[in-house]
Amino acid sequence: MTGPRDLLGVLACAALLLQASPSAADAQETVKTVCAACHGADGNSTDPRYPKLAGMDQEYLMRQLKAFASGKRREETMSAIVAGIDPNDFSKLAGYYGKLKPAPGKVNDSRLAAKGKALYEDGNTDSGVPACTGCHQSDGQGNARFPRLAGQHQAYTLKQLNDYKSGRRATDPLMTTVGKRLTADEIKAVAEYVAGL
């Protein structure tokens, strides 16, 4: 089902690739000297405060780097990091991490995860939380439009949902609504569940 939108996408990507090709090596250098300290050289950070980036969609990661730069996503650490990076390098960095193989996460509390699974697959009809599966798919593997959630650190997912709720992360009106409708208990449960996907 190739539509005009897909074609435009392909053209845009081709343009970006042409621009980016000379310095894939520089991206690797930046990853080694800057990003790896937190996100790991293989994109699978071990510190739960830092998200795993391996296997996440390149377009999604690029949007986030731009959002840190513009302040739509308010977070001191990453804002400081992107301030020191040429925005022309964002796509290379995103591409680098996007190609890495994601490592699985680990569920620590299976009862909590079971509650999270119910919310993930069914939503909450009373408060109007849609099922997460609707957008993120049942396996949480992600795509350009809806990011990968599978295997992510609990602490990171929890913080993001709270940030959507509070408005610190104003990158997307849909997730802002979802965040505002989630309770603290639901956030804990669903973060536990997606870690095991």
Partner 1 sequence: MTRHWLGLPIATLACSLAIAGADASRTDWNAAYPEKTAVLGLHGDAGRGAEAFVICQGCHRVGALGRADGSYPRLAGQHASVLIKQLTDVRTGRRSNPKMLPFADHQVISIQEIADIAAYLQALPVPATQGQGAGNDLARGARLYRADCAVCHGAHGEGDADKFYPRVSGQHFKYLLRENQLIRDNKRRNANPEMIGAIKNYTDADIAAVADFMSRLPVEMVKQVP
22-28 contacts: CB < 8 A, separation 24 or more? 23/89, 23/92, 24/92, 24/96, 26/89, 26/92, 27/89, 27/92, 27/93, 27/95, 27/96, 28/96
Cα dist. 36→18, 66, 96, 178 in Å?
A: 26, 19, 12, 31
DSSP code at position 86: -
Residue 20 CB coordination number (10 Å): 17
Angle between helices 58-70 and 76-83 (to 10 degrees): 90
Give the interface segment with ligand HEC, choosing from 6-14, 17-25, 71-79, 100-108 (CB under 6 A): 71-79
- 3-state SS of 116-178 is HHHHHHHCECCCCECCHHHHHCCCCCCCCCCCCCCCCCHHHHHHHHHHHHHCCECCCHHHHHH
Per rule CB under 8 A, count of chain residues that contact partner 1? 16
Q: Cβ of residue 29: shortest distance to ligand HEC, in angstroms?
A: 11
* Residue 173 partner contact from partner 1, ligand HEC, none using kind-dependent CB cut-offs of 5 to 8 Å: partner 1
Is 73 or 165 the residue whose CB approaches ligand HEC more closely?
73
Q: Cβ of residue 181: shortest distance to partner 1, in angstroms?
A: 9
Q: Cβ of residue 88: shortest distance to partner 1, in angstroms?
A: 29
- Binders of partner 1 among residues 71 to 130 (CB under 8 A) are 123, 125, 128, 130
* Residue 5 partner contact from partner 1, ligand HEC, none using kind-dependent CB cut-offs of 5 to 8 Å: partner 1
- Binders of partner 1 among residues 128 to 187 (CB under 8 A) are 128, 130-135, 145, 173-174, 177
Q: Decide if residue 3 touches partner 1 (CB under 8 A).
A: yes
The footprint of ligand HEC (CB under 6 A) covers: 30, 34-35, 37-39, 49-51, 53, 56, 61, 63-65, 73, 75, 77-78, 81, 85, 93, 119, 128-130, 132, 134-136, 145-147, 149, 157, 159-161, 171-172, 174-175, 178, 190
